[in-house]
Amino acid sequence: MASDSSFLFSGIRFDRKKFGADIARFQKKESDTDSVKIWSVAEDESAKMREAVEEKTTSTKKRKRKGNSSETVEGFNVFRNSASGVQSSGEVQADEESIELNKMNKKEKNRQLERDAIFRKQHNIHVSGYNVPSPLQSFDELKSGYNCPSYLLRNLKELGFKLPTPIQRQAISVLLDGRECFACAPTGSGKTLAFVCPMLMKLKDPERGGIRAVILCHTRELSAQIFRECKKLAKRTKFRIKLMTKNLLRNADFSKFPCDILISTPLRLRLAIKKKKIDLSRVDYLVLDESDKLFEPELFKQIDSVLKACSNPSIIRSLFSATLPDFVEDRARELMHDAVRVIVGRKNMASETIKQKLVFTGSEEGKLLAIRQSFTESLNPPVLVFLQSKERAKELYGELAFDNIRVDVIHSDLSQQERENAVDNFRAGKTWVLIATDVVARGMDFKGVNCVINYDFPDSASAYVHRIGRSGRAGRTGEAITFYTEDDIPFLRNVANLMAASGCEVQSWLMELQKKKWKKHRPKRDSISTKPETA
Ligand SMILES: Nc1ncnc2c1ncn2[C@@H]1O[C@H](COP(=O)(O)OP(=O)(O)OP(=O)(O)O)[C@@H](O)[C@H]1O
């Protein structure tokens, strides 16, 4: 087409100024298609692609050295030395130079897009959104590309973090670029650092005059953990990082509240807004960790009042979780401006480093026998055991407490202090087996948990993913055993699917079972207790 039509234009000057907008439009389209094409490149082609990029660069250079007498605009051949025209030769040259510069910039941009695409493929990062910033190659790039303060690099080094994890590579650059973000990455893949690090960098220095950043998460245990992680990363600074405790809520004067980063559960922050008139209008950064949990109906009302109180129009919000159901994505899109979606691996998938197993126990009695047998044969602490209710957790504790193993229990009936002690003792290795409800199923980073036992079948796919994700963290291996009885068989296929998707071997009959919509499966189960009932 270009060569066919070129004769039509011979001797006619193409007014680039006049058609500048159209040229730019065309150029943008071209790069858009390039980036779409990039996504269809298979992983094993990445090396080939790198070669192609290099070859393309050299051939472009060669072409430039040769010096073309004509160039192509919108598919038409336009002659450089056209005879007629109103522009002076100086103006023509300036125009051409600026177009050439534009082209070079565009080419460099395309090359960068290609490099980013290859890198993302290698790290299993999937992004969508307009103009997504390049993922980080290393933590050093925080210094060279984003002027990271040296205290932070030093703290990262001291924590032993040599390379960013995939979610950190992408989410940090997105947030540093001032973009909103919703992200899904496997359990134990370092999401906390992915939002705390850019937050500290963006806040730059401590400031007086109100709360500047808020991190929300669904339990007190998790907020205490995030608080500790923030403190570690902010070591050597004077940032005022506060945890919204019961005491703080009761006693603080929020009209004079020196705080750069506030970490809270939604309920406590909502109370502070309503009763203590805490001012969130200056908040620049808001993180919703375990965002899918926070968007569930029972917590959404509390979240909503926080979202409304954070009224700064230039606020940057981000959502993180290992599970991202469609309804949360929809909410995120409604809520956020020009957000980037970052998914590491596949959405809602269990960590690939966990060996998963299903065990049929027949009855409730069978479960107790199975757990006792497993502990006598091969107790490899620390072990976390999940049950569907606090009553059942207490019952199992009552059974195992006298079995000569160091066992403890955690559930919502305990006092704050008792809950903290249970977590601390488990972390310190004083407790070998921690019996728990879903109160510690999400977000809790108990390093080195060797085995998770789902004594009671989880009530949803996300509960399964988060529970077993307490082991196999930060690249370590782990094990997950799920007991099932007749009552759970309708939902077995769902777990089998999750197991297969994360690379575990699954018996073929399991995959032939019917799939059933998994909606809060908490059947009434027989009592665990073997003690005679007191009248
Ligand atoms: N770059 C890194 N290199 C090595 N370890 C890291 C790195 N970043 C974080 N970690 C460690 O990985 C572990 C898990 O991190 P984190 O608790 O943030 O995971 P998560 O993705 O939030 O998990 P979950 O979905 O269960 O909440 C922590 O012990 C943390 O110290």
**For ligand 1, is residue 470 a contact (CB within 6 Å)?**
no
**For ligand 1, is residue 493 a contact (CB within 6 Å)?**
no
Confidence bin at 294 (pLDDT 50/70/90): very high
pLDDT digits (tens, 9 = 90+) for 99-151: 888 888 899 999 999 999 999 999 999 999 999 999 999 999 999 999 999 99
Say what the pLDDT of residue 533 is: 67
Q: How far is CA 73 from CA 57, 85, 326, in A?
A: 20, 18, 43
Cα-to-centroid distance, 372 and ligand 1 (Å)? 32
**For ligand 1, is residue 94 a contact (CB within 6 Å)?**
no
CA distance 358 to 353: 17
**For ligand 1, is residue 183 a contact (CB within 6 Å)?**
no
β-strand partners of 216: 264, 288
* Across 12-16, 348-352, 426-430, 438-442, least confident range: 12-16
Say what the pLDDT of residue 450 is: 96
Question: If you average pLDDT over residues 279-305, what whole number do you get?
Answer: 94
Q: How far is CA 60 from CA 48, 66, 68, 107, 121, in A?
A: 18, 10, 11, 10, 26
Cα-to-centroid distance, 186 and ligand 1 (Å)? 10
Say what the pLDDT of residue 29 is: 38
pLDDT digits (tens, 9 = 90+) for 402-413: 888 999 999 999
Say what the pLDDT of residue 514 is: 83
pLDDT at 13 over 60: no
Which tops the pLDDT comparison, 237 or 531?
237
β-strand partners of 128: 341
Q: 491-494 — which CB contacts under 8 Å span 24+ positions?
A: 491/457, 491/516, 491/518, 491/521, 492/358, 494/461, 494/464, 494/518
All domains of the chain, ordered by start, with CATH? 111-344 (3.40.50.300), 354-512 (3.40.50.300)
pLDDT digits (tens, 9 = 90+) for 508-521: 999 988 887 777 77
Confidence bin at 86 (pLDDT 50/70/90): low
Cα-to-centroid distance, 166 and ligand 1 (Å)? 11
Question: If you average pLDDT over residues 165-172, what whole number do you get?
Answer: 98
Q: Read off the pTM.
A: 0.81
**Which of 197, 199, 473 for a ligand 1 pocket mutation test, highest count of atoms within 8 Å of Cβ?**
473
- Residue closest via CA to ligand 1's atom 8 equals 190
Say what the pLDDT of residue 276 is: 84
DSSP for 469-533, written as a single string: TTSS-TT--EEEEEEEEGGGGGGHHHHHHHHHHTT----HHHHHSPP---------------SPP
Q: How far is CA 380 from CA 83, 208, 366, 427, 475, in A?
A: 86, 49, 21, 15, 19
* Across 11-15, 299-303, 477-481, 526-530, least confident range: 11-15
CA distance 335 to 333: 5
β-strand partners of 384: 434, 452
Confidence bin at 58 (pLDDT 50/70/90): very low
* Across 12-21, 173-182, 395-404, least confident range: 12-21
* ipTM higher than the 0.95 cut: yes
Question: If you average pLDDT over residues 39-60, what whole number do you get?
Answer: 39
Structure tokens at 437: 């409800």
Say what the pLDDT of residue 363 is: 87
Confidence bin at 529 (pLDDT 50/70/90): confident
pLDDT digits (tens, 9 = 90+) for 446-459: 989 999 999 999 99
**For ligand 1, is residue 191 a contact (CB within 6 Å)?**
yes
Confidence bin at 251 (pLDDT 50/70/90): very high
Task: Report the candidate in 215, 212, 335 with the shortest Cα–Cα distance to residue 287.
Answer: 215
Say what the pLDDT of residue 522 is: 79
pLDDT at 282 over 70: yes
pLDDT at 471 over 70: yes
CA distance 211 to 234: 16
pLDDT at 227 over 60: yes
* β-strand pairing of 125-128 with 340-344: antiparallel
Say what the pLDDT of residue 265 is: 97
**For ligand 1, is residue 485 a contact (CB within 6 Å)?**
no
Please give the mean pLDDT across all residues of the chain: 84
Cβ atoms of 283 and 250 within 8 Å: the answer is no
Structure tokens at 526: 């027989």
Question: If you average pLDDT over residues 276-294, what whole number do you get?
Answer: 95
* Across 56-70, 156-170, 297-311, least confident range: 56-70
Cα-to-centroid distance, 289 and ligand 1 (Å)? 13
Nearest-atom number in ligand 1 for the CA of 165 is 1
pLDDT digits (tens, 9 = 90+) for 414-442: 999 999 999 999 999 999 999 999 999 99
**Which of 168, 191, 196, 222 for a ligand 1 pocket mutation test, highest count of atoms within 8 Å of Cβ?**
191
Question: If you average pLDDT over residues 232-256, what whole number do you get?
Answer: 94
Instruction: Give the phi and the psi of residue 68 in degrees, each rounded to 5.
Output: -75, 145
Confidence bin at 36 (pLDDT 50/70/90): very low
Which tops the pLDDT comparison, 21 or 420?
420
